[in-house]
């Protein structure tokens, strides 16, 4: 099949597109799931992102704001 | 070679990348609240950023060349890249890491585990291990990029290393460190287009999928004697079970890199920058398709280059490049594709190298600056400015070591250097990391013991068991009079095969024998999970 005589190697070849299909299927199924977040989480993320930006600024030699 | 056209293309490319980087950075800074509350970071950007960081010149040039040597069996690695590197990584590791990273206010992988376990030692130990070993992986990426410059511009390899290092240093210094995902997304898109065009062109020129594969199958009689001796039976055939090639292929390349990806510091950070699990769900789609187009193409094209070279010159790929596996893909692109594609492909390679290198240097610098030096500081005192200096110094030292390695590691080394780093990360950190995410009963002592066990078994294997390294170190020969304490083809079994199970068992056993140090802290870590 597909010019690959060894079933073990053929399996590897076929696992590649099936893996991609699994990813596509999962992503579509869960497209609108797990998007809700609490106020608390928003606050935590805000602090997290602020620190992340500070680190980046420090690394690039700018004064944190 | 049209030098003028090439220069113009590269300058335009660099200008666009710099502009995007600058814009993305400014935008994030000025609309902090908007970004957080609106959660509008597109999953496409997240997935492309992860993918562009994951896939580097090492994957395309190094592993593509390895596929030219060993054949389609390497596609097991692509399968692992998608099933484990994307699906398992995003769904089972990414979501929990994101939430727990928030709970812990962690910004690097060592900081994440250090805070989860309440241990500064863990953070420092990880920082040191990453700092000491990452240059090997960075060198692999740098060698890959330099081989492409060598092949396409037909310049000396040593000159190419210097040229590319200057380019990367400039990129890292002028904004590459800001880790802006927009830049990664542009680079990822370019990589995707380039690789898809390449795949279609190769299949088309060889008469279609099945005829191309059949032609490759028919080349079995041309396998070099050296490869046949270590167990190779054909480019579309599995190696002889238990042969040296079997262990090199499956234990080092497929398992080492395929599983090792789960414990990569520069990738784990990516989950923590995503806004919600919904983005991760959507990013799985793009990630899966992207990786298929990247390593899938590189390995298929690498193997099929044998058919092209035999048809055009009567020699297999390895013979065309004097045995240097790392030079196969550059040689193939230069010979097979029109010169305009060569320029496009060079941008693909520049993209692949830069997006990975910027994250690698970021991880390298922070490992020494934040995770090692930073943890010695109490609060935000005046010495904080030293942390920045140490981070930058770390990057400069890392760059020097990298260039040194790029000159001295020799030929056919990219895939091996990459798999050593991936395997070592998994051996030391995967068990404690996975347990941190899923097991409340994990104790600090258990995690440290698991980490140490993985590290020591890896070290022992590199020095006394795995012949590729033990022969270089020479300690085994000195003490025991032979290059490896193992015999037969087992000298090719990757250290990961011993180290990871030992690390898993140690983590579990020691945790069960000790008490959770701070149960309240563990509950805080798992909040919202």
The pair of structure tokens assigned to B65 is: 């060349």
Phi-psi domain of B279 (left: phi exceeds 0; alpha: psi -120 through 50; beta: other): alpha
pLDDT of residue B372: 86
**Half-sphere exposure (CA, 13 Å, Cβ side) for A30?**
22
Predicted confidence (pLDDT) per residue in B427-467, tens digit? 999 999 999 999 999 999 999 999 999 999 999 999 999 99
Chain centre to alpha carbon of residue B291: 13
Name the percent of chain B lying above pLDDT 90: 49
Provide, as residue numbers in chain B, all residues whose Cβ is less than 8 Å from the Cβ of A2. Answer: 209-210, 213
User: Which pLDDT value is given to residue B215?
Assistant: 96
Mean pLDDT over B55-64 rounds to 86
Give the pLDDT score at B182.
Answer: 67
- Write down the residue that tokens 């193409």 correspond to: B297
Contact in structure between A4 and B75 (CB atoms under 8 Å): no
The shortest CB-CB distance from A16 to any of B36, B78, B391 is to: B78
Predicted pLDDT of residue B204: 95
How much is the pLDDT for B244? 94
Question: Residue B75's pLDDT is what?
Answer: 96
Please indicate, yes or no, if residue B32 is contained in any of the structural domains. Answer: no
Query: Cβ separation of A34 and B277 shorter than 8 Å?
Result: yes
What residue of A is the nearest CA neighbor of B211?
A3
Between B153 and B228, where is the model more confident? B228
pLDDT at A4 over 90: yes
For residue B318, the SS3 value is helix
Interatomic CA distance for residues A49 and A62, integer angstroms: 17
Residue B84 pLDDT > 90: yes
* Minimal CA separation from B431 to chain A, in Å: 25
- Tell me the pLDDT of chain B averaged across its residues: 86
**pLDDT value of position B37:** 28
- pLDDT surpassing 90 at residue B105: no
- Best mutation target among A27, A43, A46 (most B Cβ atoms within 10 Å) is A27
Query: Per the structure block, which two tokens stand in for A48?
Result: 């997290």
Spatial neighbors of B504 by CB under 8 A, at least 6 apart, are: B431, B450
Q: Which residue of A has its CA nearest to B365?
A: A59
Mean pLDDT of B98-120: 89
d(CA B88, CA A24): 14
d(CA B400, CA B395): 9
- Give the phi and the psi of residue B164 in degrees, each rounded to 5: -70, -35
- The residue-averaged pLDDT of A20-25 equals 95
Mapped onto helix, strand or coil, the DSSP state of residue B310 is helix
Q: How far does the CA of residue A46 sit from the closest CA of chain B (Å)?
A: 6
% of chain B surpassing 70 pLDDT: 90
Asked whether the beta carbons of residue B82 and residue A12 sit closer than 8 angstroms, the reply is no
* B273, closest residue in chain A (CA to CA): A49
Query: Which of A6, A31, A41 is the closest to B282 by Cβ?
Result: A31
CB atoms closer than 10 angstroms to residue B357: 29
DSSP string, B215-227: HHHGGGGG--HHH
- For residue B105, tell me if it sits in a domain: yes
Q: Do A59 and B76 touch (CB under 8 A)?
A: no
Q: Is residue B360 a contact partner of residue B421, using CB atoms and an 8 Å limit?
A: no
Residue in chain A nearest B370 by alpha carbon:
A55
Contact criterion met (CB < 8 Å) for B289 and A24: yes
The tens digit of pLDDT for each residue in B5-18 reads 777 877 787 777 77
Residue B203: CATH number of its domain: 1.20.1730.10
In which band, very low, low, confident or very high, does the pLDDT at B33 lie, cut at 50, 70 and 90? very low
Rounded to a whole number, what is the distance in Å from the CA of A16 to chain B's nearest CA?
5
Q: Name the residue among B55, B72, B61 with its Cα closest to residue B300.
A: B72
Q: Residue B356 has which token pair?
A: 């990975």
Contact between chains at A15 and B28 (C-beta distance less than 8 A): no
Lowest mean pLDDT among A27-36, A46-55, B190-199: A46-55
Q: Kindly provide the b/e burial profile for residues B474-496, where b requires at least 16 CB atoms within 10 angstroms of the residue's own CB.
A: eebeeeeeebbbbeebbbbbbbb
CA end-to-end distance (rounded Å), chain B: 56
The domain limits of chain A are 40-65
Enter the tokens of residue B325: 């596996």
Find the CB nearest A4 among B95, B213, B275: B213
pLDDT given at position B179: 45
ipTM: 0.84
Q: In angstroms, rounded to a whole number, what is the distance separating the alpha carbons of residues B436 and B144?
A: 35
- Let me know if residue B290 belongs to a domain: yes
d(CA B100, CA A15): 32
Distances (CA, A) of B57 to B27, B184, B263, B355: 30, 14, 20, 10
Arithmetic mean of pLDDT, A24-38: 82
Burial string for B250-266 (b: 16+ CB within 10 Å, else e) reads bbbbbbbbbbbbbbbbb
Alpha-helical segments (H) within A1-65: 7-29, 39-59
Which of B25, B82, B101 shows the shortest C-beta gap to A20? B82
Model pTM above 0.80: yes
Section B128-143 average pLDDT: 90
Residue B4 lies in a domain: no
- Using a CB-CB cut-off of 8 Å, the residues of chain A touching B366 are 55, 59
| Spatial CA neighbour of B138 closest among B396, B393, B366, B398 | B398
Q: Tell whether the model's pLDDT for residue B202 goes beyond 90.
A: yes
- Which of the 8 DSSP states describes residue B60? I
Answer yes or no: do B238 and A31 touch at CB < 8 A.
no
Indicate if the pLDDT at residue B58 is higher than 80.
yes
Distance CA B529, CA B523 (A): 10
Beta carbons of B517 and B443 less than 8 angstroms apart: yes
Q: How many CA atoms lie within 13 A of B232 on its CB side?
A: 26
With beta carbons under 8 A apart, name residues in chain A contacting B213. Answer: 2-4
Q: CB count, 10 Å around CB of B395?
A: 23
Residue B187: the pLDDT is: 78
Exposure class string for B9-31: b at 16+ Cβ within 10 A, else e: beeebbeebbebbbebbeebeee
Tokens of B368: 């020494």
If one counts the domains in chain B, the total is 1
* Burial (0-12, 13-18, 19+ Cβ within 10 Å), B279: buried
Q: Give the span between the Cα atoms of B151 and B349, in whole angstroms.
A: 12
Report the length, in residues, of chain A.
Answer: 65
Determine the straight-line distance between the first and last CA of chain A, rounded to whole angstroms.
62
Range of the domain at B500: 45-525
The pLDDT of residue B233: 95
Contact B355, B58 (CB under 8 A): no
**Is residue A47 over pLDDT 50?**
yes
Contact B526, B440 (CB under 8 A): yes
Q: How far is CA B115 from CA B72, B282, B368, in A?
A: 43, 29, 17
Gap from A64 CA to chain B (nearest CA, Å) = 11
Query: Of A44, A58, A65, which is closest to B102 when you measure between CB atoms?
Result: A44
B333 contacts B239 by C-beta, under 8 angstroms: no
> pLDDT digit string (tens) for B320-373?
999 999 999 989 998 998 887 888 787 777 777 877 787 788 778 888 887 888
Cα nearest neighbour of A58 on chain B: B388
**For residues A4-20, average pLDDT:** 96
Conformational region of residue B298, where left means phi above 0, alpha means psi within -120 to 50, and beta covers everything else: alpha
pLDDT bracket for residue B39 (50, 70, 90): very low
Which has more pLDDT, B65 or A53?
A: B65
Yes or no, beta carbons of A23 and B178 under 8 Å apart = no
Hey, how many other C-beta atoms are within 10 angstroms of the C-beta on B518? 13
Residue B13 domain-assigned?
Answer: no
Residue B405 lies in a domain: yes
Closest CA to B130 of B339, B299, B364: B364
pLDDT for B329:
93
What is the pLDDT, as a whole number, of residue B42? 67
Token digits of residue B387: 């942390």
- Report how many Cβ contacts below 8 Å link chain A to chain B: 172
The pLDDT confidence band at residue B36, using thresholds 50, 70 and 90, is very low
Do B205 and B308 touch, CB atoms closer than 8 A?
A: yes
pLDDT tens figures, B265-315: 878 877 876 777 888 888 899 889 999 999 999 999 999 999 999 999 999
Does residue B31 form part of some domain?
no
Mean local confidence (pLDDT), B232-260: 92
Confidence category of residue B55, pLDDT binned at 50, 70, 90: confident
Is the per-residue pLDDT at B181 higher than 80? no
pLDDT at position A64 is 40
CB atoms inside a 10 Å sphere around CB B439: 16
Q: With 80 as the cut, is the pLDDT of residue B86 above it?
A: yes
pLDDT above 60: residue B24: no
């Amino acid at each position: 099949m597909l010019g690959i005589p060894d079933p073990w190697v053929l399996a590897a070849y076929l696992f590649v597109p099936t893996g991609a299909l699994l990813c596509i299927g999962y992503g579509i199924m869960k497209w609108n799931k797990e998007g809700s977040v609490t106020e608390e989480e928003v606050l935590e993320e805000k602090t997290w992102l602020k620190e992340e930006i500070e680190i980046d600024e420090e690394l690039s030699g700018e004064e944190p704001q | 070679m049209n030098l003028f056209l090439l220069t113009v293309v590269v300058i335009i490319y660099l200008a666009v990348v710099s502009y995007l980087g600058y814009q993305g950075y400014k935008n994030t800074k000025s609309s902090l609240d908007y970004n957080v509350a609106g959660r509008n970071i597109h999953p496409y950007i997240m997935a492309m950023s992860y993918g562009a960081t994951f896939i580097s010149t090492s994957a395309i040039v190094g592993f593509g060349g390895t596929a030219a040597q060993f054949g389609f069996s390497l596609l097991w690695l692509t399968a692992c890249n998608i099933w484990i590197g994307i699906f398992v990584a995003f769904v089972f590791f990414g979501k929990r890491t994101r939430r727990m990273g928030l709970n812990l206010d962690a910004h690097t992988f060592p900081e994440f585990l250090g805070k989860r376990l309440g241990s500064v030692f863990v953070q420092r130990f990880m920082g040191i291990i990453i700092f000491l070993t990452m240059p090997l992986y960075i060198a692999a990426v740098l060698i890959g990029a330099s081989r492409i410059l060598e092949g396409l511009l037909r310049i000396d390899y040593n000159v190419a290393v210097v040229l590319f290092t200057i380019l990367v240093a400039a990129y890292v210094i002028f904004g590459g460190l800001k880790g802006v995902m927009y830049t990664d997304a542009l680079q990822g898109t370019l990589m995707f287009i380039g690789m898809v065009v390449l795949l279609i062109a190769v299949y088309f020129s060889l008469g279609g999928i099945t005829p191309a594969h059949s032609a490759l199958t028919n080349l079995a009689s041309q396998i070099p004697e050296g490869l046949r001796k270590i167990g190779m039976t054909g480019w579309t055939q599995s190696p002889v079970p238990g042969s040296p090639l079997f262990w090199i292929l499956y234990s080092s390349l497929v398992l080492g890199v395929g599983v090792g990806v789960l414990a990569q510091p520069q990738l784990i950070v990516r989950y923590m920058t995503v806004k919600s699990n919904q983005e991760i769900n959507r990013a799985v789609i793009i990630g899966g398709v992207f990786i298929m187009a990247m390593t899938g193409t590189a390995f298929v094209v690498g193997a099929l280059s044998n058919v092209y070279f035999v048809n055009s010159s009567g020699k297999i790929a390895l013979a065309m490049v004097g045995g240097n596996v790392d030079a196969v893909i550059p040689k193939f692109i230069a010979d097979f594709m029109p010169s305009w594609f060569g320029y496009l492909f060079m941008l693909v390679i520049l993209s692949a190298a830069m997006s990975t290198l910027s994250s690698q240097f970021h991880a390298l610098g922070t490992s020494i600056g934040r995770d090692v030096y930073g943890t010695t500081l109490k609060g935000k005192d005046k010495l904080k400015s030293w942390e920045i200096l140490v981070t930058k110094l770390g990057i400069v030292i890392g760059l020097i070591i990298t260039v040194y390695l790029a000159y001295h590691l020799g030929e056919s080394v990219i895939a091996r250097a990459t798999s050593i780093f991936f395997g070592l990360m998994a051996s030391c950190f995967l068990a404690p990391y996975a347990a941190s995410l899923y097991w409340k009963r994990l104790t600090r002592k258990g995690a440290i013991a698991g980490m140490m066990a993985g590290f020591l078994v890896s070290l022992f294997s590199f020095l006394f068991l795995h012949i590729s390294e033990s022969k270089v170190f020479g300690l085994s020969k000195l003490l025991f009079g032979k290059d490896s304490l193992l015999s037969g083809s087992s000298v090719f079994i990757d250290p990961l095969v011993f180290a990871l199970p030992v690390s898993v068992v140690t983590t579990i056993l020691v945790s069960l024998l000790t008490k959770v140090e701070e149960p309240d802290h563990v509950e805080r870590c798992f909040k919202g999970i």
